[in-house]
Amino acid sequence: MIPSSVIEDIRYRNDIEDVVSSYVPLKRAGSNLKGLCPFHSERTPSFVVYRDTQSYYCFGCGAGGDVVNFIMRQENLDYVSAVEFLARRAGIDLPDFSDENREREGPSRTRILQMNREAAKYFRKMLFDDNAGAAGRDYFVNKRGLSSLVIKRFGLGYSPMSWNGLRNYLSSLGFTYEEMKTGFLCGQNERGYFDYFRGRVMFPIIDLSGNIIAFGGRVLDNSKPKYINTSDTPAFKKSKNLFALNYAKDSGEDTIIICEGYMDVIALHSAGFTNSVATLGTAITAEHARILKRYASKAVLSYDSDAAGSKATERAIGFLSDVGIDAKILVMDGAKDPDEYIKKFGREAFGRLIDGSRSRFDYLIEKTLKKYDVGNADDKIKAAGEICREIASVYSKVEREIYVKKAASALEVDPKSIFLDVEAAIRKAERAKKKERSGELIRITSGISDRVNPDFVKRPKTARLEEDLLGMLMIHPEYISVKLDGGPAVSESDFFTDLGKRLFSHIKAQTESGTFSTGSLSEKFTFDEVSRAMRMQNNRRELTNDETAYLTYLEEIRKENAKHDAKATLEDIISHKRAGN
């Protein structure tokens, strides 16, 4: 474990306001700061940073925590790596804690990154091996026409047809089979550990700090699967990472080109379109969109034009426009992918294709018009309905006005009626959203489907008192030793929910060994549990939290528990009597 004095120092030197505002623009709101939540998509800020408690809380999605927790979520790091990240940021030298961490919870991120670097070296060496790498070189150089410069820039490699080449190489460097399995380089069957990647050209995935976090491997024949990608590991989450974003972020362009595959991206980069990226064996996610928003305000989607591709395009547009990225669709004729297009028609032609890419709305209107026969009145009404809902989802009023005119002329109706329908659709969507939100709130506060504190539903009234008491203790940990008239100070037995008991024990242990800070929660509790704890604290924020109030809650909890115990005893006696008969 990292000593708490070190953690406190790191927290002290990483002011939460500074750290958060390097990711999220924050505005002053009273004595706090407010911004758009980086963990869910929203247009009205509900993400608050509290300077006094050095914590954050989102009233939209419930995420909350301290600066370490923020970095864990934002940078997708485990606790130790997040602490290391912040130490580096503040210029503090840290001893290596990764070994201890490894013993506790499997290979650490640091260890996997070291292993990946070695694996990438091995794959590269194999690619240039006279015998083993011939097939790989044939693919990259002869079939795809890549220069040695591009091969080097992307760190491309080859995994030979061997069941244990990489395994033995990494083992000779001191990596364990268990580490190789966790890092998704080896699999395990009844005969032992074996190389996952065999006979594939290899694409390392590099994060923004230059770490090799994962690999993609493509077969050279028709065997399946065509691609193998690293699954999620302690160093990699595919929903959060993009291929070549490490280069694209420095392209100086405000537009990002999003393609389907590694080879599309490499071909585009070779042709000078260094602002292109690809997702990694997954469709664009909301997280991808939020990450891209940091680097670009426009995106061009270059997906396959088949049914799967156009479905992926629509979903991607949704996520991108949710975060305010203006997404357009590239429509390509005469070639199946960007690589082939550039080879056939040249890079200038592809540049013109990008300039002429269709706006989201034009694309959607085109699709809707294809689906319906607007000569038929019924069809026309349906088409108008779909288009109006689309226009209603556009945030900018000016943009909406433009679309209303376009839609009216495409459907040959009066713009005024389209306008009215759009207004109605906006109101309807708002009502639905409000209802959804309040429904969510009711579910949480009433404890129905309470994943985080599953015991809550058993005795909601007492559980609510418990959460209030814990919230107060997190603000005033010193109350922990205050005695109630005619009774002892608070103890673990005063809590009946498992989460309550664990939170209390943690606060108590921390208070006894020095000071409690909400930041220490991130080490022991899950994200959801930390968020819940932050909610308990925030719920007490505007209320009176003096000793009298605290003791009133404690007394109330004890009364409730006594009532419950008495009832339980009574039931016990009754059931014993029945059993006796």
Binding-site ranges for Zn ion (CB under 5 A): 37, 39-40, 58, 60-61
- Distance, in Å, from the CA atom of 390 to the CA atom of 369, rounded to the nearest integer, reads 13
User: Whose CA is closest to 318, among 276, 288, 353?
Assistant: 288
Residue among 60 and 187 whose Cβ is closer to Zn ion = 60
Residue among 61 and 551 whose Cβ is closer to Zn ion = 61
Note whether 60 and 47 are within 8 A (CB): yes
Min separation Cβ 533 and Zn ion, Å: 16
- Distance, in Å, from the CA atom of 168 to the CA atom of 160, rounded to the nearest integer, reads 13
Min separation Cβ 441 and Zn ion, Å: 14
Min separation Cβ 557 and Zn ion, Å: 31
Residue among 60 and 106 whose Cβ is closer to Zn ion = 60
For 232-249, the DSSP string reads: -BTTB-TTT-EETHHHHT
Question: CA dihedral defined by 86, 526, 32, 548, rounded to 10 degrees?
Answer: -120
Q: Which two tokens stand for residue 536?
A: 């308990």
- Distance, in Å, from the CA atom of 354 to the CA atom of 302, rounded to the nearest integer, reads 9
Quick count: other Cβ atoms within 10 Å of Cβ 225?
10
Min separation Cβ 460 and Zn ion, Å: 25
Residue among 58 and 465 whose Cβ is closer to Zn ion = 58
Residue among 48 and 503 whose Cβ is closer to Zn ion = 48
Residue among 65 and 204 whose Cβ is closer to Zn ion = 65
The sign of the dihedral angle between the CA atoms of 404, 409, 415, 420 is negative
Min separation Cβ 535 and Zn ion, Å: 12
Residue among 61 and 331 whose Cβ is closer to Zn ion = 61
Q: Which residues contact 143 (CB under 8 A, 6 or more apart)?
A: none
Min separation Cβ 38 and Zn ion, Å: 8
Q: Which two tokens stand for residue 577?
A: 């009597």
Min separation Cβ 36 and Zn ion, Å: 9
For 323-381, the DSSP string reads: TT-EEEE----S-SSHHHHHHHH-HHHHHHHHHTPEEHHHHHHHHHHHHS-TTSHHHHH
Min separation Cβ 314 and Zn ion, Å: 24
Geometric angle at alpha carbon 566, from 565 and 567, rounded to 5°: 90
Residue among 82 and 534 whose Cβ is closer to Zn ion = 534
